Structure 1
Amino acid sequence: MPNQIDEDRDARALGAQSFGLKNRLFRILWGIVWFLLASWTQPLHGWRRWLLRQFGATVGEGVYVAPSARIWHPGNLILEDFAAIADGADIYNMGPVTIGRYGVVSKRAHICAGTHDINDDKFLLIAKPIVLEAYSWVAAEAFVGPGVRVGEGAVLGARAVTVKDLAPWTVYAGNPAKALKERARFERSDVPKRGWREPLETAD
């Protein structure tokens, strides 16, 4: 198994790739396209899914991405069926970000897959993947740090902060996030007929 030194080296290499000229030009083009062709298209869910796919995102069935969501690099984004990214959410995906089936990132939440090596004199970028498993919910204005896995059905409450993995079907709140209680397990069998609807913005 890889040790921590190997993981950090791989993470720095991933980060270094993120700031090449080609990557920067791609992201500039992506930002212009999203601003001109998507930022005003509130009812056109399918159109935004199509745009994301054209720029390299993996986008499943029934996915919802709000026009005001910010996605750093669509090529580093995997959205499984019926995943959702709400208004103003910031997907800072220097490393890969995966949102599982029916996973929700709520308004103004921050999914941050990049940081810096504070012990390096060049302050090198470290990019680490983030995975939000199926049925998980990152509530309004919450923060998920690099390398975190949010377990299936886990809930990170509004304005909570986590830099560590969250256990499945558990509700967390606070800064740093702490487990509060278990969440009832379920599995959705109904397929929405008219697209995704955002849940309430509070986590008990």
Structure 2
Amino acid sequence: MHSFNLQYDHVKDVNEHRMYRLRLKATSTPVEAAEWNHKFDLFLRASFERTQSYFNPLDHCPDVLVFESPYQSIITAALMSRYIPEEDNLYVCFLSVLPEYRQYGLAKNLLNAIILQAYDNDIKQVTLNVNVENIKAIKLYTKCGFRCTKYIRDYYASNPQPHLDGYYMTLMIKYIRSPPLICKKEKAVLIPSDIEVEYAEQCAKDK
């Protein structure tokens, strides 16, 4: 997997899988960028088990955390994000794990890493979208401190799924109380009760 076109920074190891922070080097040519866009497109299709193309995902989400298999040089899980400066927001575009590697806690550790990245850089918030019927993902995001702040009808209409509506979920970094416990213990993020009520109102389906 390693390439001179990508900058690799080792983050940590989890169950023998190595986590890296990746980014295309400024010296990469358009051809090299297209090659890696294609590789990540194929990874997303395989991990989400879909046939539709994700159309140059690195162009839209250039900051990438990945896990590499301890047994072969392949990406087993990835989190792709982009920073939105006008919102001081680190937006998670994709979080996916290959089906055969979903028992190792890789998604949880990728979320932990991106939240700590936001925390360490004094970024205001981390956000993401999720299908309203993806109960397993919603449970993980909630454990990590995310809350639904908007219900979006037909969010997935351009990329049809069994259910088209989505939640926009937000984690305000100021509510983090114990960074080492993020995604491990829900008490790592303490959201005031009045804010919890406000979130629930913002996320109401009929709004």
TM-score by length of structure 1 reads 0.31
Instruction: Identify, as 1 or 2, the structure richer in helix.
Output: 2
Provide the TM-score with structure 2 as the length reference: 0.31
